[in-house]
Amino acid sequence: MIRFLFKGLIRDKHRSLLPLIVVALGVMLTVVFHSWLTGVISDSIEYNARFTTGHVKVMTMAYADNLDQMPNDLALLNADSLTVALKKQFPGMEWVERIHFAGLVDVPDRSGETRAQGNTIGFGIDLFTPGSAEIDRMNIRKSVVEGRLPKQNGEILISNELASDMKLKPGDTISLISSTMYGEMAIYNFTVAGTVVFGTSFLDRGTIIADIADVRQALNMEGASGEILGLSQKGYFDKNEATEIAAAFNRNYNKPADEFSPVMKTLMEQNNLGALVDYSSVILTVLVAVFLLAMSIVLWNAGLLGGLRRYGEFGMRLAIGEEKGHVYKTMIYESLLIGTFGSLAGVALGMVFAWYFQHYGLNLKGMMQNATIIMPTVFKARITPVTWFIGFIPGILSTLIGTMLSGIGIYKRQTAQLFKELEA
C-alpha cells in the first residue's frame, strides 16, 4: 500500500510538489533562523564569558557576594596554587587568573601636577606568558586602534574614549590610583602602549588592560588573584559541563562557614546570564512554533485544494470498499512521506545557509553602537546537533496537522455524497 501511495505521490505533481516546496522552504528557514539565533545568543554568552564571567569562575565567597565592587581585599590568596590544582583536576577547561579592579587614571603634566583624571575599570590579565591565550580571548589584537600591544611590563592599553578625553597618546605615562589588597592607597605608573575600541560601550567607556603581574605589584597582591576563570576547551558554554565541574569543585573546596573559602560559580549564576540562557531556549521554541503554525496553515489550505481535486478518487475508493478511516489514514501516510522528504530537502538547504552564516556571519556593527550589554557585533550562526533535527519538527508536524485538518472534509461528507461528486 505504501508503495502504491508513493507512486501516486511521485507521479502526481499537484499532490506532492506544492506541499514539498512549502515544507522544504519552511524547514530551511527554521534551520537557518535556529542556527543563527543559537549563534547570536551563544556568541553573546561567549563574549560575556571571555571578558568577565568565564564559563565558570572561582572567587572567594565574600568576593562573589560583592562582585560589583571588585573587592580585591577579598581576593583568593593562594590563587597560583589553586590554578595549578584546577588545571590538573579539570583539564577540559582552560584556567586563567584575572584581577578586575576599579581606580582612577591620573595624567600628570610636565611639573607632575594632575592634568586630567578619569574613572577606570581595569583588567589584569596574562599578557606576556608565551602561549597565553588571553590577548586573543579578549580579541585585543584586533581592537587596538592607536599604538600597539604592550611588549613589556609597565605597558598598558587604554580605551580610546578615555584616552581622547584625557588627551593621551601612545607613549604617555599615567598613574593608576587604587587601593591595595590591604586597603592602603596604591599609586602605580604605567606607559600607554596603545588604545583600544571593543565596539561595546560597556568596555569602551574607561577600560585599562594591564599585565596581571603589574597589577599584582600595583595592588600588593603577590600570588593572589580576584578571580580564576575557567573556559571550556570546547569553545562554547556547555551548561552541563559547567554545572558538573562547579559542583565537583564546590564539594571539595567550598566551606560554607568560611567566607574566604573559594566558590565556583557557573556563567548562569553571574550577571543574569542564566536568564539569557533560559530565555534563549524560549526564543528558539517560539521560533519553531511560529514556523509550525504558519506551515500548518499553508498546508491545510493546500490540502483542502488538493482534497477537492481528489474527491472523485476518494469516492471511487469508498465504492470499491475502502473504509473512510483507511482513506484518511492513507492521506496521513502521504503527508508523512511528503513531510519526511520535504524536511530532508529543507535541512540540506538550510544547512548550506547555516554553514555560510557560521563562517561569514552578518556584520551589524552599525546597529550595535549604543548597546549597553556586552555583545559581539558580527552575528554568526552556530550549527549544533540540534540544528540537524530541529527542522523535522515543523516539517513533519505541519504536514500532519495540515492533512488532518483538510482531511476532516472526508469524514464530514456522506459516502453517497462523495460518490455523487464522482458522477459529476
Partner 1 sequence: MDSGHLITIQHLKKHFAMGAGKFTALNGIDLTFDKGEFTGIIGPSGSGKTTLLNIIGSLDVPSEGKAIVMGKSVGDLGAREAAMLRKTKLGFIFQSYNLLQVHTVYENVEFPLLLLGIDAATRKQMVKDALEWVGLTDKTSSRPAQLSGGECQRVAIARAMVKKPEIVLADEPTANLDAANSHHILQTMEKLNHEFRTTFIFATHDEKVIGYIRRKIFLEDGKVAKDELITKS
* Cβ nearer to partner 1, comparing 123 with 311: 311
* Cβ nearer to partner 1, comparing 75 with 338: 338
Neighbouring C-beta atoms of residue 403, cutoff 10 Å: 27
Q: Please tell me whether residue 127 adopts helix, strand or coil conformation.
A: coil
* Cβ nearer to partner 1, comparing 308 with 319: 319
Cα distances (Å, whole numbers) of residue 243 to 239, 240, 247, 249 = 6, 5, 6, 10
User: Dihedral angle at the C-alpha atoms of 21, 27, 28, 31, nearest 10 degrees?
Assistant: 180
Among 145, 187, 319, 367, binds partner 1 (CB under 8 A): 319
**x/- track of binding to partner 1 for residues 13-42 (CB under 8 A):** --x---------------------------
Applying CB under 8 A, the site for partner 1 has a residue count of 25
CB 203 within 8 A of CB 374: yes
* Cβ nearer to partner 1, comparing 115 with 324: 324
321 is an interface residue for partner 1 by CB under 8 A: yes
Among 103, 230, 315, 339, binds partner 1 (CB under 8 A): 315
Q: Is residue 66 within a helix (H) or strand (E), and if so which, with residue range? A: none
Among 68, 113, 184, 423, binds partner 1 (CB under 8 A): 423
Give me the amino acid identity at 158.
Answer: I
CB of 4 to partner 1, least distance (A): 6
Neighbouring C-beta atoms of residue 240, cutoff 10 Å: 7
User: What pairs with residue 98 in β-bridges?
Assistant: 227
Give me the amino acid identity at 9.
Answer: L
Among 109, 320, 359, 412, binds partner 1 (CB under 8 A): 320
275 is an interface residue for partner 1 by CB under 8 A: no
CB of 319 to partner 1, least distance (A): 5
110 is an interface residue for partner 1 by CB under 8 A: no
Residue 276 C-alpha from the chain's centroid: 9
Piece in contact with partner 1 (CB under 8 A), picked from 11-19, 132-140, 291-299, 361-369: 11-19
* Cβ nearer to partner 1, comparing 6 with 353: 6
Dist. CA 81–CA 409, nearest whole Å: 74
* Cβ nearer to partner 1, comparing 113 with 423: 423
Among 21, 62, 322, 344, binds partner 1 (CB under 8 A): 322
Among 108, 154, 274, 312, binds partner 1 (CB under 8 A): 312
Piece in contact with partner 1 (CB under 8 A), picked from 38-46, 69-77, 132-140, 313-321: 313-321
Set of cell numbers at residue 420: 455523487
* Cβ nearer to partner 1, comparing 16 with 52: 16
Cα distances (Å, whole numbers) of residue 194 to 108, 197, 213, 297, 301 = 18, 10, 19, 58, 63
Dist. CA 233–CA 324, nearest whole Å: 58
Q: Is residue 230 within a helix (H) or strand (E), and if so which, with residue range? A: strand 227-232
Piece in contact with partner 1 (CB under 8 A), picked from 10-18, 52-60, 210-218, 359-367: 10-18
412 is an interface residue for partner 1 by CB under 8 A: no
Place of cell 459516502: 415
Dist. CA 86–CA 161, nearest whole Å: 37
CB of 317 to partner 1, least distance (A): 8
Neighbouring C-beta atoms of residue 117, cutoff 10 Å: 14
DSSP 142-183: HHEEEE----STTEEEEEHHHHHHTT--TT-EEEEEEE-TTS
* Cβ nearer to partner 1, comparing 3 with 251: 3
318 is an interface residue for partner 1 by CB under 8 A: yes
* Cβ nearer to partner 1, comparing 315 with 361: 315
6 is an interface residue for partner 1 by CB under 8 A: no
Cα distances (Å, whole numbers) of residue 270 to 169, 207, 277, 402 = 35, 20, 11, 44
User: Dihedral angle at the C-alpha atoms of 125, 130, 131, 136, nearest 10 degrees?
Assistant: 50
323 is an interface residue for partner 1 by CB under 8 A: yes
CB 343 within 8 A of CB 392: yes
Among 8, 108, 154, 170, binds partner 1 (CB under 8 A): 8
Among 21, 149, 316, 332, binds partner 1 (CB under 8 A): 316
11 is an interface residue for partner 1 by CB under 8 A: yes
313 is an interface residue for partner 1 by CB under 8 A: yes
Interface residues toward partner 1, by CB under 8 A? 1, 4, 7-8, 11-12, 15, 312-313, 315-324, 326, 415-416, 419, 422-423
